[in-house]
Structure 1
Amino acid sequence: MKSNAPGQLLGYSMQFPRALYHLLRSDPYDVVCVEVLGDVATLSSGGELLSEEDKSSIAGNPLTDRSTDLWKTFSNWIEAIINKDFDIEKTQFVLYCNKSGRQGIVNKFSLAQDLSDVQSAIEYARTELSDIKSDHEIWVYYNFVVNENETLLIKVIQSFELQIGNGAGYDEVRTEIKKTHVPEGQIEFIIEKLSGWIQKIIIEKIAVRENATISWEEFDHQFSVLFDRSRCRELIDFTMQYSMEDEKVQDQVKIRPKYIQQLEAIDLKDEEILAEISDYLRADVNREKWIAGEIIDEEVALDFEARLISFWENQRKRIKITQRTLGEIEQGQLLLSDCKSRQEAIRSIYPPSSTIAGTYHALADEPTIGWHPKWENIFSK
């Protein structure tokens, strides 16, 4: 069964990245809104308005000369001016489209610089659509715009801009984030954080019949720390706690890599082992992200591991001398506990709590270290 639902869903969903794009470009005291003064709009403290309509398509160009989307958009803008919803002298009109196509009327309107250009663009539209009859689906909009309100159309075109994007609308967001000097490897993570927040805020406001507006101050309060940390190349935690039922955790349980066997050798309980698996997975993900984002390099990683190994070796000797009365299992559990609680920095920055334990488990998997006093006899390298 054919359906227009995917295309419609894309159309509505694209307003989220567009709102995010405008927030990233906004200034203090600006307000960005969705479905209030257009699909997406930015209202400045001085009363200037940028009203944007978003048009999308999965297949082709949605803004052809005879498209309803094109003429309905200009009709809505002119109607809003007549109803005094927009101040024509303070409004910029933007039409955003996620697909490019053959140059046509909308491109002529966008490229018009002065009054002469605008009038020429309107005459071009009249010529191209001279065969349009009153029963055509665009006639009611085209007639209202071109024939009945040419004076207002001229003013709209003088403040009009066509913007062509690509796909789902996130390319422009990536560009704006990159301008803030955020490391390349962290851009996608930041987009996910920003997108999740903005969707939640907008949907919650619409659900309680409030205007979906977000101020620059709200956005800055929520994310200024994240951007600062990213620019300083801090060790951001890109992960979340893995639950016991998580597929990746269960995969580790099934294959029983050497670090899990090492934990079993000191009789760790099942629930404790699952928690250690979570730390191992989180540390693995963060390490890859940090290296990809050039936050750390191989030399820094090896130095961090070397310091952990040195601490492990010293604790192992200490326990062997001072805890002779403990059995081998208890000695191993104590060594694991001491190493997990170790505070060790990377580039003078303390990493997320899972990093120490997870890195120790990675070393135990090689195995470079072990927990049981006789680990070297039990586990071959």
Structure 2
Amino acid sequence: MKSNAPGQLLGYALQFPRALYHLLRSAPNDVVCVEVVGDVAIRYSNGELLTEEDKSSVLGNVLTDRSKDLWKTLSNWIEASNSGFIDIEKTQFVLYTNQSGRRGLVNEFDEAQDPLKASTALKKAKDKLKELDVEHEIWKYYNYVVNENEIQFMEIIQRFNLQIESGAGYDAVRIEIQKKHVSEKQIDFIMENLNGWVLKIVVESIAARRSAIMTWEDFDKQFKVLLDRSRSRELIDFTMNYNKEHDKVKKQFKERPIYLKQLEAIELTENEMLEAISDFLRADANLERWIENETIDYDIALDFEDRLTKFWKNQRKRIGITEKNLNAVEQGQLLLSDCNSRLETIRDMTPPASTIPGTYHALADEAEIGWHSEWDKIFIKEKGD
């Protein structure tokens, strides 16, 4: 059993990415609506209007010379003008489709940007369809447009724009989001959530028998919230816990890099050292992913390390003054505990729990910091060797 239901469903579904597209291109005090003035429309702050009809197909071109979609759309626009619902001189008329086809009348209308070209396009339409039977499904629309409202038709096609985009309408949305300097890694998250917001507004409005209207101001608030969320959500833990049987843990434990030797110097247990290895590996992996995903850059990473180092210096000095009763090992353990418990943010976001201790171990591995009171005498020399 054949059905054009998939194509019709796609036609309705196209309204959501198209509304989102127009919202992304809108400006303060503009209003975008769905199923109010055509499929999608934008009322500009200066009083002008863009009205759009969205036509789709899963098989082929829906805007042939004898297309009902084409002639019914033109008829509806003229009827809206004749009823005073729209002002042609203040309106842009857009016909959007997801399928291209061979050149036809719709292309002639699209190119008729002045009275002479509009007159030529009208003549071509009459010539091509002069043998159209009055019983044809498009006759009443064609007749109303070309024969009964010739002047309005020519005025409309001078303000007419045909837009063709393959697919489901989201390629244009992606480009508009990208124009707002959004990272490629963040676009899908923002696009999906904005589309959900548009869908919710439209469905709830229609269900409540209200006009589905979205203001630039409401959209702007939503966009900013999602942009902040997209950045926050990317400072996530991409790693897993490394248990003692993990190959990387075994390798680190066997090779004893400097940060582990620093922990040995303050007599940490084997379990504590295994936990340190896990933190070190996780922090390193996450940092690499965050930089790769453009969540942070090297300058932000260096600033984070600088703040941790400054805290380490202050705590080391404090412990040296206030905890003189503790020996070098105990002072080192206290310093490590204080540093691992430190709360720091990266770009105002709280990083995964392993990040701060793991970064401290990375600094210790470079002999930039240490835990034992004489760490610099021991490990800076070892690093140089």
* Fold agreement, TM-score > 0.5: yes
Q: Per-residue deviation at 1:112?
A: 0.8
Aligned to 2:344: 343
Aligned to 2:146: 146
- Residues 124-139 of structure 1 mapped to structure 2, 5 A cutoff: 124-139=124-139
Q: Per-residue deviation at 1:309?
A: 11
Q: In the aligned structure 2, how far is the partner of 1:258 from the partner of 1:203?
A: 53
Q: State whether residues 105 and 125 of structure 1, in contact with CA within 8 Å, keep that contact through their aligned partners in structure 2.
A: yes
Structure 2: which amino acid aligns with 1:236?
R
Aligned to 1:25: 25
Q: In the aligned structure 1, how far is the partner of 2:35 from the partner of 2:191?
A: 22
Q: In the aligned structure 2, how far is the partner of 1:252 from the partner of 1:5?
A: 50
TM-superposition CA deviations, 1:91-140 (whole Å, max 9, x none) = 11111112222111011001012111101111111222223211222112
* SS of match in other structure, 2:353: helix
Aligned to 2:380: none
Q: In the aligned structure 1, how far is the partner of 2:310 from the partner of 2:32?
A: 53
Aligned to 2:231: 236
Q: State whether residues 339 and 357 of structure 2, in contact with CA within 8 Å, keep that contact through their aligned partners in structure 1.
A: no
Name structure 2 gaps, 5 residues minimum: 251-270, 273-277, 327-332, 366-385
Q: Per-residue deviation at 1:336?
A: 9.0
Identify if the C-alpha distance between structure 1 residues 221 and 66 changes in structure 2 by more than 3 Å, giving closer, same or farther: same
Aligned to 2:266: none
Identify if the C-alpha distance between structure 1 residues 289 and 104 changes in structure 2 by more than 3 Å, giving closer, same or farther: farther
Structure 1: which amino acid aligns with 2:171?
D
Q: Per-residue deviation at 1:340?
A: 6.4
Identify if the C-alpha distance between structure 1 residues 307 and 27 changes in structure 2 by more than 3 Å, giving closer, same or farther: closer
Structure 1: which amino acid aligns with 2:158?
Q
Q: State whether residues 339 and 357 of structure 1, in contact with CA within 8 Å, keep that contact through their aligned partners in structure 2.
A: no
- Residues 317-336 of structure 1 mapped to structure 2, 5 A cutoff: none
Structure 1: which amino acid aligns with 2:115?
L
Aligned to 1:178: 178
- Give the total of aligned pairs: 334
Identify if the C-alpha distance between structure 1 residues 82 and 310 changes in structure 2 by more than 3 Å, giving closer, same or farther: same
- Residues 271-286 of structure 1 mapped to structure 2, 5 A cutoff: none
Q: State whether residues 105 and 124 of structure 1, in contact with CA within 8 Å, keep that contact through their aligned partners in structure 2.
A: yes
> How large is the RMSD of aligned CA atoms in angstroms?
4.5
Q: State whether residues 50 and 92 of structure 1, in contact with CA within 8 Å, keep that contact through their aligned partners in structure 2.
A: yes
Q: State whether residues 193 and 226 of structure 2, in contact with CA within 8 Å, keep that contact through their aligned partners in structure 1.
A: no
Identify if the C-alpha distance between structure 1 residues 58 and 293 changes in structure 2 by more than 3 Å, giving closer, same or farther: farther
Q: Per-residue deviation at 1:79?
A: 1.2
Identify if the C-alpha distance between structure 1 residues 342 and 260 changes in structure 2 by more than 3 Å, giving closer, same or farther: farther
Q: Per-residue deviation at 1:9?
A: 2.2
Identify if the C-alpha distance between structure 1 residues 66 and 343 changes in structure 2 by more than 3 Å, giving closer, same or farther: same
Q: State whether residues 186 and 231 of structure 2, in contact with CA within 8 Å, keep that contact through their aligned partners in structure 1.
A: no
Identify if the C-alpha distance between structure 1 residues 291 and 157 changes in structure 2 by more than 3 Å, giving closer, same or farther: same
Structure 2: which amino acid aligns with 1:161?
N
Q: State whether residues 99 and 166 of structure 2, in contact with CA within 8 Å, keep that contact through their aligned partners in structure 1.
A: yes
Q: Per-residue deviation at 1:148?
A: 1.6
Q: Per-residue deviation at 1:258?
A: 8.3
Q: State whether residues 11 and 56 of structure 2, in contact with CA within 8 Å, keep that contact through their aligned partners in structure 1.
A: yes
Structure 2: which amino acid aligns with 1:238?
R
Whether 1:197 and 2:197 are equivalent positions in the alignment is yes
Q: State whether residues 259 and 362 of structure 1, in contact with CA within 8 Å, keep that contact through their aligned partners in structure 2.
A: no
Name structure 1 gaps, 5 residues minimum: 243-247, 267-275, 325-330, 370-381
TM-superposition CA deviations, 1:212-265 (whole Å, max 9, x none) = 0011111123224655x69xxxx81236999xxxxx99x999xx968999xxx7
Q: In the aligned structure 2, how far is the partner of 1:358 from the partner of 1:202?
A: 43
Structure 2: which amino acid aligns with 1:208?
A
- Residues 38-53 of structure 1 mapped to structure 2, 5 A cutoff: 38-53=38-53
Question: So what's the TM-score if we normalise by structure 1?
Answer: 0.70
Taking every aligned residue pair, what percent have the same amino acid on both sides?
51
Aligned to 2:297: 296
Structure 1: which amino acid aligns with 2:66?
R
Q: Per-residue deviation at 1:151?
A: 1.6
Q: Per-residue deviation at 1:300?
A: 6.0
Identify if the C-alpha distance between structure 1 residues 260 and 38 changes in structure 2 by more than 3 Å, giving closer, same or farther: farther
Structure 2: which amino acid aligns with 1:181?
H
Q: In the aligned structure 2, how far is the partner of 1:10 from the partner of 1:260?
A: 52
- Residues 1-381 of structure 1 mapped to structure 2, 5 A cutoff: 2-224=2-224, 236-238=231-233, 288=289, 290-293=291-294, 295-297=296-298, 339=340, 342-345=343-346, 349-350=347-348, 352-353=349-350, 355-357=351-353, 359=355
TM-superposition CA deviations, 1:37-96 (whole Å, max 9, x none) = 010001123321111111112232221111111111101111111221112222111111
* SS of match in other structure, 1:77: helix
Identify if the C-alpha distance between structure 1 residues 287 and 84 changes in structure 2 by more than 3 Å, giving closer, same or farther: farther
Identify if the C-alpha distance between structure 1 residues 309 and 192 changes in structure 2 by more than 3 Å, giving closer, same or farther: farther
Structure 1: which amino acid aligns with 2:343?
R
TM-superposition CA deviations, 1:270-313 (whole Å, max 9, x none) = xxxxxx9xxx89x95x963652337425x86588689879999x
Structure 1: which amino acid aligns with 2:232?
D
Q: Per-residue deviation at 1:7?
A: 2.1
Structure 1: which amino acid aligns with 2:352?
I
TM-superposition CA deviations, 1:126-168 (whole Å, max 9, x none) = 2222232112221121111112211211111121111112211
Q: In the aligned structure 2, how far is the partner of 1:56 from the partner of 1:336?
A: 63
Looking at CA atoms only, which structure, 1 or 2, has the larger radius of gyration? 2
